[in-house]
Amino acid sequence: MIVRYYFRKYRIQIYGFLILLFATSLQCTLLNYFRIINIKPDIMLATLVMFSFFYSLRCSLIFSLLIGIFRDVLGFLPFGFNTIICVLWVILAREIFQRLSIEDKLIRCITLFIIIVLNNLTLNCFMFIINKPIPTGILLKVIFLESLFTLPLSLMIYKIFIFLLNPVKSPSINRL
């Protein structure tokens, strides 16, 4: 009874956490086999943007922190870098959604594209600071192809969010 009560109360958050885990495991395992020109889509970043779109600020910040921690744990950069920038991307995405129409697919895609570009540029700046700069050609290739592959996937993630969270029945979702 207690479990059911808490599941009902935190259903949306539990689904969010499960999506987060699924996206992380997919990014680190299966997506590697779907590389095109050695570039894979960034499903974690797309999920991050979707969190800022569907969840309250507090929730999306917690999820962004978790995504950042996962990225830091699995990546090679000094710990904490991704944790900080993921939080920044959530705040930026929410700012964009508050100012523009959130129903427009194009706006969502452009927001995601901006965040992917900014994420890669920030990463490059950081690598430059720690004396490991990424060649411009590789950086441009990564930015362009990663955005190209992530955008169609983000639409799929959006559909999954809509299906799982069912905004009509869930008044706790503040964004819709």
Partner 1 sequence: MPGRKKSLIIPSLIVAALILLAAAFIPYIRASFIDSLHLPLELLFAINREIQGIVLYHYNLVQNQRLEREISLVKRQLYESTEVYLENARLRELLDFKEKSIYPLTAANVIGYDPSNLSSIIIINKGKEQGIKRDCAVITNSGLVGRVVEVGRLTSKVLVINDINSGVAALIQRSRQKGLISGTLSRGLVMHYLPPGADVRISDTVITSGLSGLYPKGILIGKVIKIREENYGEMFAVIEPSTDLTRLEEVLVVLPK
Q: Which residues pair with 104 in a beta bridge?
A: none
Site residues for partner 1, 15-74, by CB under 8 A, read 24, 27-29, 32-33, 35, 37-40, 42, 44, 70-71, 74
Q: Does 157 participate in binding partner 1 (rule CB under 8 A)?
A: no
Query: Residues in contact with partner 1, total (CB under 8 A)?
Result: 30
Question: CB 123 → partner 1: shortest distance, Å?
Answer: 6
Give CA–CA dist 95/72, Å, rounded.
25
Question: Can you read off the two tokens belonging to residue 106?
Answer: 């194009």
Question: CB 43 → partner 1: shortest distance, Å?
Answer: 9
Q: Does 147 participate in binding partner 1 (rule CB under 8 A)?
A: no
Nearest to 71 by CA among 37, 90, 94, 48: 48
Question: CB 39 → partner 1: shortest distance, Å?
Answer: 5
Q: Does 78 participate in binding partner 1 (rule CB under 8 A)?
A: no
Contact residues: partner 1, CB under 8 A: 24, 27-29, 32-33, 35, 37-40, 42, 44, 70-71, 74-77, 120, 123-124, 127, 132, 134-135, 138-139, 142, 146
